Amino acid sequence: MPDTAHRVEVLHGVNLDMLGRRDPALYGTLTLPDLQQRIEGYAAELGGLRLGFFQSNFEGELVQRLHRLRGQADGIVINAGAWSHYAWALRDALEIAACPAVEVHLSDVKAREPWRRVSIFDGLCLASVSGHGAEGYRVALARLRDALDGAGAGAADAPAPPAEERGER
């Protein structure tokens, strides 16, 4: 049987390897491996998705990973941690990856310090999901799967791209 699953890469940036040891009130108690297992579970429930995972504390490594995803991934879920608020090279790299992406934050970044309200991915991602903890990744995968299923229908059949979706928080 041909593998028709959409290939989705789940990317984590700086300090996300410290989940489980960071403030649980903000980030929950799951470690990164726990979170990845949870995300695999969401993908299995949704169906039609094949996941890859990558985390780095080195911005250049994440940039290189994004370069290599061009033509390899159908979609990207990205939680770039604090880089999300200032690391513009990551925005360029995500653009170079040239596939639909959804930004996720475990915490509600809009309700925290003002500098966290800036997202370098604004206007580039299909959606930005924040403040829902691990559950936010389910929302992100569902959003990507819908977009990718639509893309598979061919341009003429595809639903019009939604207006920028913020507020799935």
Q: Residues 14 to 53: which contact ligand DQA by CB under 6 A?
A: 15
Site string for ligand DQA, 76-115 (x = CB under 6 A): ---x-xx-x--------------------xxx-x------
Active site residue 86: no
Contacts of 59 (CB under 8 A, 6+ apart): 13, 14, 83, 87, 89, 90
C-alpha 131/C-alpha 114 separation (Å) is 15
Check binding of 8 to ligand DQA (CB under 6 A): no
Active site residue 132: no
Nearer to ligand DQA, 78 or 151 (CB): 78
CB of 83 vs ligand DQA, minimal distance in Å: 8
Secondary structure tally for the chain: helices H, strands E: 5, 5
* Burial class of residue 168, CB neighbours in 10 A (0-12, 13-18, 19+): middle
Nearer to ligand DQA, 82 or 158 (CB): 82
Residues that bind ligand DQA (CB under 6 A): 15, 79, 81-82, 84, 105-107, 109, 116
